[in-house]
Amino acid sequence: MFIKESVSLPTYYFGHVISVLKDSGIGVETWLASQNLDLNKLLQANSRVSIEQFDGLIQSVITNRGFEDLGLSVGKRLEIAHHGDFGLAILNSASFLQVLDFHVKFLSIRIPLIQIMYAIENEQVVVTLIDEHWQDKLHVSMIEAVIIAVVNMLHATKFQDGSDLEIELVEFDYSKPNYWEKYSTIKANKLEFNARYCNLKFARTNLHKPLAFADDFSFQRAVVNCENELDSFHQQNLSMRDRVKRLLKQDGGVRLGLEDIAEQLFMSKRSLHRGLDREGTSFKLLMQEVRADLALKFLNQDYSISRVADLLNYSDSANFRRAFKTWYKMAPREWLIKERLSKSRKKNAE
Protein backbone atom coordinates (compact mmCIF):
# COMPACT_ATOMS: atom_id res chain seq x y z
CA MET A 1 0.00 0.00 0.00
CA PHE A 2 1.56 3.26 -1.10
CA ILE A 3 -0.13 5.49 1.50
CA LYS A 4 1.20 5.61 5.05
CA GLU A 5 -1.06 4.22 7.75
CA SER A 6 -1.20 7.71 9.29
CA VAL A 7 -2.76 9.27 6.17
CA SER A 8 -5.48 11.84 6.77
CA LEU A 9 -8.44 12.49 4.51
CA PRO A 10 -9.91 15.86 3.52
CA THR A 11 -13.44 16.50 4.75
CA TYR A 12 -14.38 17.94 1.36
CA TYR A 13 -17.44 15.72 0.85
CA PHE A 14 -18.49 15.25 4.46
CA GLY A 15 -21.38 17.66 3.97
CA HIS A 16 -22.93 15.31 1.43
CA VAL A 17 -22.47 12.28 3.69
CA ILE A 18 -24.04 14.19 6.58
CA SER A 19 -27.00 15.29 4.43
CA VAL A 20 -27.64 11.69 3.33
CA LEU A 21 -27.53 10.50 6.95
CA LYS A 22 -29.85 13.26 8.15
CA ASP A 23 -32.35 12.40 5.41
CA SER A 24 -32.24 8.81 6.68
CA GLY A 25 -32.90 9.82 10.28
CA ILE A 26 -29.43 9.02 11.60
CA GLY A 27 -28.17 11.24 14.43
CA VAL A 28 -25.10 12.94 12.99
CA GLU A 29 -23.70 14.33 16.26
CA THR A 30 -23.70 10.90 17.94
CA TRP A 31 -22.21 9.37 14.80
CA LEU A 32 -19.33 11.85 14.75
CA ALA A 33 -18.79 11.61 18.51
CA SER A 34 -18.15 7.87 18.14
CA GLN A 35 -14.81 8.86 16.53
CA ASN A 36 -14.16 11.88 18.77
CA LEU A 37 -15.22 14.37 16.08
CA ASP A 38 -17.69 17.21 16.04
CA LEU A 39 -19.35 19.15 13.24
CA ASN A 40 -17.75 22.50 14.10
CA LYS A 41 -14.25 21.08 13.65
CA LEU A 42 -15.19 19.53 10.31
CA LEU A 43 -16.40 22.92 9.08
CA GLN A 44 -13.02 24.54 9.66
CA ALA A 45 -10.82 25.35 6.67
CA ASN A 46 -8.41 22.54 5.69
CA SER A 47 -10.06 20.19 8.21
CA ARG A 48 -8.98 16.53 7.92
CA VAL A 49 -9.77 13.22 9.63
CA SER A 50 -7.53 10.19 10.08
CA ILE A 51 -8.12 7.10 7.96
CA GLU A 52 -8.99 5.19 11.15
CA GLN A 53 -11.68 7.74 12.05
CA PHE A 54 -13.11 7.75 8.53
CA ASP A 55 -13.22 3.95 8.31
CA GLY A 56 -14.88 3.74 11.71
CA LEU A 57 -17.57 6.23 10.72
CA ILE A 58 -18.45 4.59 7.42
CA GLN A 59 -18.25 1.06 8.82
CA SER A 60 -20.67 1.96 11.61
CA VAL A 61 -23.26 3.26 9.15
CA ILE A 62 -22.99 0.29 6.79
CA THR A 63 -22.77 -2.45 9.43
CA ASN A 64 -24.69 -1.13 12.41
CA ARG A 65 -27.35 0.79 10.51
CA GLY A 66 -27.62 -1.50 7.49
CA PHE A 67 -27.04 1.43 5.12
CA GLU A 68 -25.35 -0.72 2.46
CA ASP A 69 -26.04 1.66 -0.43
CA LEU A 70 -24.42 4.65 1.30
CA GLY A 71 -21.89 5.02 -1.53
CA LEU A 72 -24.61 5.24 -4.16
CA SER A 73 -26.59 7.74 -2.11
CA VAL A 74 -23.58 10.03 -1.66
CA GLY A 75 -22.33 9.60 -5.23
CA LYS A 76 -25.67 10.70 -6.71
CA ARG A 77 -25.31 14.05 -4.94
CA LEU A 78 -21.86 14.80 -6.34
CA GLU A 79 -22.06 17.03 -9.40
CA ILE A 80 -19.20 18.96 -10.97
CA ALA A 81 -19.97 22.11 -8.96
CA HIS A 82 -19.20 20.23 -5.72
CA HIS A 83 -15.52 19.58 -6.50
CA GLY A 84 -14.12 23.12 -6.24
CA ASP A 85 -11.04 23.83 -8.37
CA PHE A 86 -10.92 20.14 -9.31
CA GLY A 87 -14.31 20.41 -11.01
CA LEU A 88 -13.48 23.82 -12.48
CA ALA A 89 -10.41 22.41 -14.23
CA ILE A 90 -12.44 19.56 -15.75
CA LEU A 91 -15.20 21.90 -16.92
CA ASN A 92 -12.63 24.09 -18.72
CA SER A 93 -10.62 21.24 -20.26
CA ALA A 94 -9.99 21.17 -24.00
CA SER A 95 -10.51 17.41 -24.50
CA PHE A 96 -11.21 14.21 -22.61
CA LEU A 97 -7.52 13.38 -22.92
CA GLN A 98 -6.84 16.47 -20.81
CA VAL A 99 -9.66 15.48 -18.42
CA LEU A 100 -8.17 12.03 -17.87
CA ASP A 101 -4.61 13.28 -17.45
CA PHE A 102 -5.91 15.74 -14.85
CA HIS A 103 -7.71 12.95 -12.97
CA VAL A 104 -4.58 10.79 -12.95
CA LYS A 105 -2.50 13.56 -11.42
CA PHE A 106 -4.94 15.17 -9.00
CA LEU A 107 -7.57 12.65 -7.83
CA SER A 108 -5.60 12.17 -4.61
CA ILE A 109 -6.45 15.70 -3.42
CA ARG A 110 -10.10 14.63 -3.22
CA ILE A 111 -9.87 10.89 -2.48
CA PRO A 112 -6.27 9.90 -1.74
CA LEU A 113 -6.73 6.16 -1.34
CA ILE A 114 -8.10 5.51 -4.83
CA GLN A 115 -5.88 5.79 -7.87
CA ILE A 116 -7.07 6.29 -11.44
CA MET A 117 -5.31 5.11 -14.60
CA TYR A 118 -6.30 4.83 -18.23
CA ALA A 119 -5.14 2.91 -21.30
CA ILE A 120 -6.08 2.59 -24.96
CA GLU A 121 -7.20 -0.96 -25.79
CA ASN A 122 -8.14 -1.48 -29.43
CA GLU A 123 -10.87 1.09 -30.13
CA GLN A 124 -11.71 1.82 -26.50
CA VAL A 125 -10.42 4.03 -23.72
CA VAL A 126 -10.34 1.99 -20.49
CA VAL A 127 -10.34 4.05 -17.29
CA THR A 128 -9.43 1.98 -14.23
CA LEU A 129 -10.02 2.78 -10.57
CA ILE A 130 -7.65 1.10 -8.14
CA ASP A 131 -8.67 0.95 -4.47
CA GLU A 132 -5.44 0.77 -2.46
CA HIS A 133 -6.98 0.54 1.00
CA TRP A 134 -10.65 -0.40 1.44
CA GLN A 135 -12.01 -3.94 1.40
CA ASP A 136 -15.35 -5.77 1.38
CA LYS A 137 -18.37 -3.52 2.02
CA LEU A 138 -16.21 -0.43 2.53
CA HIS A 139 -14.62 -1.07 -0.86
CA VAL A 140 -18.03 -1.39 -2.52
CA SER A 141 -19.27 1.81 -0.91
CA MET A 142 -16.21 3.85 -1.87
CA ILE A 143 -16.14 2.56 -5.47
CA GLU A 144 -19.84 3.32 -5.87
CA ALA A 145 -19.38 6.92 -4.75
CA VAL A 146 -16.23 7.55 -6.80
CA ILE A 147 -17.50 5.94 -10.02
CA ILE A 148 -20.76 7.90 -9.94
CA ALA A 149 -18.84 11.11 -9.21
CA VAL A 150 -16.43 10.48 -12.11
CA VAL A 151 -19.27 9.57 -14.49
CA ASN A 152 -21.17 12.73 -13.50
CA MET A 153 -18.08 14.85 -14.13
CA LEU A 154 -17.53 13.28 -17.54
CA HIS A 155 -21.14 13.97 -18.47
CA ALA A 156 -20.95 17.57 -17.24
CA THR A 157 -18.67 18.40 -20.17
CA LYS A 158 -20.11 18.47 -23.68
CA PHE A 159 -18.53 18.34 -27.11
CA GLN A 160 -18.51 21.41 -29.31
CA ASP A 161 -21.18 19.80 -31.52
CA GLY A 162 -23.50 19.66 -28.49
CA SER A 163 -23.33 15.90 -28.02
CA ASP A 164 -22.48 14.08 -24.79
CA LEU A 165 -19.88 11.43 -24.04
CA GLU A 166 -21.34 7.94 -24.33
CA ILE A 167 -19.96 5.60 -21.67
CA GLU A 168 -20.31 2.15 -23.17
CA LEU A 169 -19.54 0.01 -20.13
CA VAL A 170 -18.89 0.27 -16.40
CA GLU A 171 -17.34 -2.79 -14.72
CA PHE A 172 -17.21 -3.54 -10.99
CA ASP A 173 -14.76 -5.93 -9.33
CA TYR A 174 -17.34 -7.29 -6.87
CA SER A 175 -20.55 -9.30 -6.92
CA LYS A 176 -23.87 -7.73 -7.79
CA PRO A 177 -25.27 -6.24 -4.54
CA ASN A 178 -28.82 -6.98 -3.47
CA TYR A 179 -29.78 -3.36 -4.21
CA TRP A 180 -28.29 -3.45 -7.72
CA GLU A 181 -31.46 -1.97 -9.27
CA LYS A 182 -30.36 1.39 -7.81
CA TYR A 183 -27.30 1.27 -10.07
CA SER A 184 -29.63 2.46 -12.85
CA THR A 185 -28.67 5.99 -11.79
CA ILE A 186 -25.19 5.42 -13.30
CA LYS A 187 -25.18 6.99 -16.76
CA ALA A 188 -23.74 4.13 -18.82
CA ASN A 189 -25.05 1.82 -21.54
CA LYS A 190 -24.11 -1.36 -19.69
CA LEU A 191 -23.03 -2.44 -16.20
CA GLU A 192 -21.16 -5.64 -15.36
CA PHE A 193 -20.15 -7.19 -12.03
CA ASN A 194 -17.47 -9.70 -10.96
CA ALA A 195 -14.94 -8.09 -13.30
CA ARG A 196 -11.20 -8.16 -12.68
CA TYR A 197 -11.03 -4.40 -12.26
CA CYS A 198 -13.29 -1.40 -11.81
CA ASN A 199 -13.37 0.15 -15.28
CA LEU A 200 -15.17 2.77 -17.34
CA LYS A 201 -15.01 2.30 -21.11
CA PHE A 202 -15.78 4.64 -24.01
CA ALA A 203 -14.79 4.95 -27.66
CA ARG A 204 -11.26 6.25 -28.31
CA THR A 205 -12.65 8.53 -31.04
CA ASN A 206 -13.96 10.74 -28.21
CA LEU A 207 -10.52 11.26 -26.67
CA HIS A 208 -9.42 14.22 -28.81
CA LYS A 209 -12.77 15.76 -29.79
CA PRO A 210 -12.88 19.45 -28.71
CA LEU A 211 -15.03 20.24 -25.69
CA ALA A 212 -17.59 23.05 -25.64
CA PHE A 213 -16.50 24.91 -22.49
CA ALA A 214 -12.74 24.86 -23.08
CA ASP A 215 -10.95 27.87 -21.55
CA ASP A 216 -7.21 27.41 -21.15
CA PHE A 217 -6.76 30.42 -18.85
CA SER A 218 -9.39 29.18 -16.39
CA PHE A 219 -8.03 25.64 -16.68
CA GLN A 220 -4.47 26.74 -15.85
CA ARG A 221 -5.62 28.82 -12.86
CA ALA A 222 -7.50 25.84 -11.48
CA VAL A 223 -4.46 23.61 -12.06
CA VAL A 224 -2.24 25.99 -10.07
CA ASN A 225 -4.62 25.79 -7.10
CA CYS A 226 -4.77 21.99 -7.37
CA GLU A 227 -0.95 21.84 -7.53
CA ASN A 228 -0.81 23.71 -4.23
CA GLU A 229 -3.30 21.28 -2.68
CA LEU A 230 -1.31 18.32 -3.98
CA ASP A 231 1.97 19.67 -2.60
CA SER A 232 0.33 20.18 0.79
CA PHE A 233 -1.08 16.63 0.75
CA HIS A 234 2.29 15.12 -0.15
CA GLN A 235 4.07 17.01 2.59
CA GLN A 236 1.53 15.83 5.18
CA ASN A 237 1.06 12.23 4.15
CA LEU A 238 3.54 10.73 1.73
CA SER A 239 7.08 9.53 2.23
CA MET A 240 9.62 10.07 -0.52
CA ARG A 241 9.20 6.44 -1.52
CA ASP A 242 5.42 6.81 -1.79
CA ARG A 243 5.68 9.98 -3.88
CA VAL A 244 8.13 8.43 -6.35
CA LYS A 245 6.17 5.19 -6.65
CA ARG A 246 2.94 7.07 -7.27
CA LEU A 247 4.50 9.02 -10.14
CA LEU A 248 5.95 5.83 -11.60
CA LYS A 249 2.54 4.13 -11.44
CA GLN A 250 0.94 7.06 -13.23
CA ASP A 251 3.61 6.82 -15.92
CA GLY A 252 3.29 3.05 -16.26
CA GLY A 253 6.85 2.53 -15.06
CA VAL A 254 8.35 2.96 -18.52
CA ARG A 255 9.09 6.56 -19.52
CA LEU A 256 10.12 8.57 -16.49
CA GLY A 257 13.71 8.45 -15.31
CA LEU A 258 15.34 9.67 -12.11
CA GLU A 259 15.84 13.16 -13.53
CA ASP A 260 12.18 13.39 -14.65
CA ILE A 261 10.90 12.34 -11.23
CA ALA A 262 13.23 14.77 -9.45
CA GLU A 263 11.94 17.59 -11.66
CA GLN A 264 8.32 16.75 -10.89
CA LEU A 265 9.13 16.73 -7.16
CA PHE A 266 10.97 20.08 -7.47
CA MET A 267 14.30 18.75 -6.19
CA SER A 268 17.71 17.80 -7.52
CA LYS A 269 18.60 14.23 -8.54
CA ARG A 270 21.07 14.13 -5.67
CA SER A 271 18.44 15.14 -3.09
CA LEU A 272 16.02 12.54 -4.44
CA HIS A 273 18.69 9.83 -4.33
CA ARG A 274 19.61 10.71 -0.74
CA GLY A 275 15.97 10.85 0.35
CA LEU A 276 15.26 7.38 -1.02
CA ASP A 277 18.47 6.05 0.48
CA ARG A 278 17.41 7.29 3.92
CA GLU A 279 14.17 5.33 3.54
CA GLY A 280 16.08 2.18 2.63
CA THR A 281 15.23 2.02 -1.04
CA SER A 282 16.33 3.33 -4.45
CA PHE A 283 14.82 4.57 -7.69
CA LYS A 284 15.81 1.33 -9.43
CA LEU A 285 14.10 -0.83 -6.80
CA LEU A 286 10.89 1.22 -6.97
CA MET A 287 10.88 1.02 -10.75
CA GLN A 288 11.12 -2.78 -10.50
CA GLU A 289 8.28 -2.90 -7.94
CA VAL A 290 6.00 -0.92 -10.25
CA ARG A 291 6.89 -3.03 -13.28
CA ALA A 292 6.31 -6.23 -11.29
CA ASP A 293 2.81 -5.05 -10.28
CA LEU A 294 1.96 -3.95 -13.82
CA ALA A 295 3.19 -7.24 -15.27
CA LEU A 296 0.54 -9.16 -13.29
CA LYS A 297 -2.13 -6.64 -14.23
CA PHE A 298 -1.39 -6.95 -17.95
CA LEU A 299 -1.15 -10.75 -17.86
CA ASN A 300 -4.50 -10.84 -16.04
CA GLN A 301 -5.94 -8.84 -18.92
CA ASP A 302 -4.91 -11.66 -21.30
CA TYR A 303 -2.11 -9.71 -22.97
CA SER A 304 0.52 -11.88 -24.64
CA ILE A 305 3.93 -12.13 -23.00
CA SER A 306 5.52 -10.24 -25.90
CA ARG A 307 2.89 -7.49 -25.58
CA VAL A 308 3.57 -7.13 -21.82
CA ALA A 309 7.31 -6.98 -22.49
CA ASP A 310 6.68 -4.18 -24.98
CA LEU A 311 4.36 -2.25 -22.63
CA LEU A 312 6.98 -2.38 -19.88
CA ASN A 313 9.68 -1.20 -22.27
CA TYR A 314 11.79 -4.36 -22.33
CA SER A 315 13.96 -4.80 -25.44
CA ASP A 316 12.64 -8.33 -25.96
CA SER A 317 10.52 -11.05 -24.34
CA ALA A 318 13.57 -12.91 -23.02
CA ASN A 319 14.63 -9.94 -20.87
CA PHE A 320 11.09 -9.62 -19.54
CA ARG A 321 10.95 -13.34 -18.69
CA ARG A 322 14.20 -13.06 -16.73
CA ALA A 323 12.89 -10.06 -14.80
CA PHE A 324 9.57 -11.81 -14.08
CA LYS A 325 11.38 -14.88 -12.75
CA THR A 326 13.41 -12.63 -10.44
CA TRP A 327 10.21 -11.05 -9.09
CA TYR A 328 7.98 -14.12 -8.72
CA LYS A 329 10.39 -17.11 -8.79
CA MET A 330 8.63 -18.58 -11.83
CA ALA A 331 8.28 -17.88 -15.55
CA PRO A 332 5.29 -15.83 -16.82
CA ARG A 333 3.75 -18.85 -18.56
CA GLU A 334 4.02 -20.92 -15.37
CA TRP A 335 2.34 -18.12 -13.41
CA LEU A 336 -0.49 -17.97 -15.98
CA ILE A 337 -1.10 -21.72 -15.73
CA LYS A 338 -1.24 -21.57 -11.91
CA GLU A 339 -3.53 -18.55 -12.03
CA ARG A 340 -5.97 -20.26 -14.39
CA LEU A 341 -6.00 -23.43 -12.28
CA SER A 342 -6.67 -21.37 -9.15
CA LYS A 343 -9.59 -19.57 -10.80
CA SER A 344 -10.98 -22.83 -12.12
CA ARG A 345 -10.90 -24.43 -8.64
CA LYS A 346 -12.54 -21.37 -7.14
CA LYS A 347 -15.29 -21.40 -9.75
CA ASN A 348 -15.93 -25.14 -9.23
CA ALA A 349 -16.10 -24.64 -5.46
CA GLU A 350 -18.85 -22.06 -5.93
The CATH number linked to 37 is: 3.90.1520.10
Cβ–Cβ under 8 Å, residues 116 and 86: no
Residues β-bridged to residue 116? 129
Q: How confident is the model at residue 6 (pLDDT cuts 50, 70, 90)?
A: low
Which CATH number belongs to the domain containing residue 348 in this structure?
A: 1.10.10.60
11 pLDDT higher than 60: yes
Residue 219, in any domain of the structure: no
Domain count across the chain: 2
Element (H, E) at 289: helix 283-300
Domain end position, chosen among 155, 186, 206: 206
**pLDDT value for 347:** 64
Range in 147-156, 200-209, 244-253 with the lowest mean pLDDT? 244-253
**pLDDT value for 243:** 81
pLDDT in tens, 68-110: 999 999 999 999 989 999 999 999 999 999 999 999 999 988 9
pLDDT in tens, 218-237: 999 999 999 998 888 777 76
Q: Is the whole-model pTM more than 0.85? A: no
In this structure, the answer to whether residues 184 and 277 fall within a common structural domain is no
Instruction: Spell out a b/e string for 261-281, using b for 16 or more CB atoms within 10 Å of the CB, else e.
Output: bbeebeeeeeebeebbeeeeb
Residue 43, in any domain of the structure: yes
**pLDDT value for 3:** 42
257 pLDDT higher than 60: yes
**pLDDT value for 22:** 92
160 pLDDT higher than 90: yes
Mean pLDDT of 270-286: 90
In this structure, the answer to whether residues 159 and 264 fall within a common structural domain is no
Q: How confident is the model at residue 42 (pLDDT cuts 50, 70, 90)?
A: confident
In this structure, the answer to whether residues 244 and 122 fall within a common structural domain is no
Q: How confident is the model at residue 320 (pLDDT cuts 50, 70, 90)?
A: very high
Q: If we measure between CA atoms, which residue out of 143, 137, 139, 136 comes closest to residue 191?
A: 143
In this structure, the answer to whether residues 134 and 187 fall within a common structural domain is yes
Mean pLDDT of 145-164: 93
Domain end position, chosen among 162, 186, 206: 206
In this structure, the answer to whether residues 185 and 317 fall within a common structural domain is no
300 pLDDT higher than 90: no
Residue 225, in any domain of the structure: no
Cβ–Cβ under 8 Å, residues 157 and 212: yes
**pLDDT value for 1:** 37
In this structure, the answer to whether residues 259 and 112 fall within a common structural domain is no
Task: Give phi and psi for 24, each to the nearest 5.
Answer: -95, 5
Residue 213, in any domain of the structure: no
Domain end position, chosen among 155, 187, 206: 206
In this structure, the answer to whether residues 189 and 53 fall within a common structural domain is yes
In this structure, the answer to whether residues 139 and 63 fall within a common structural domain is yes
Report CA 136 to chain centroid distance, whole Å. Answer: 17
Residue 201, in any domain of the structure: yes
337 pLDDT higher than 60: yes
**pLDDT value for 305:** 93
Residue 220, in any domain of the structure: no
**pLDDT value for 301:** 83
Residue 262, in any domain of the structure: yes
In this structure, the answer to whether residues 244 and 197 fall within a common structural domain is no
In this structure, the answer to whether residues 128 and 254 fall within a common structural domain is no
Q: How confident is the model at residue 350 (pLDDT cuts 50, 70, 90)?
A: low
In this structure, the answer to whether residues 198 and 274 fall within a common structural domain is no
Q: How confident is the model at residue 174 (pLDDT cuts 50, 70, 90)?
A: very high
Residue 230, in any domain of the structure: no
User: What's the chain's average pLDDT?
Assistant: 89
Q: If we measure between CA atoms, which residue out of 238, 266, 236, 242 comes closest to residue 46?
A: 236
Domain that holds residue 287: 239-350
In this structure, the answer to whether residues 201 and 246 fall within a common structural domain is no
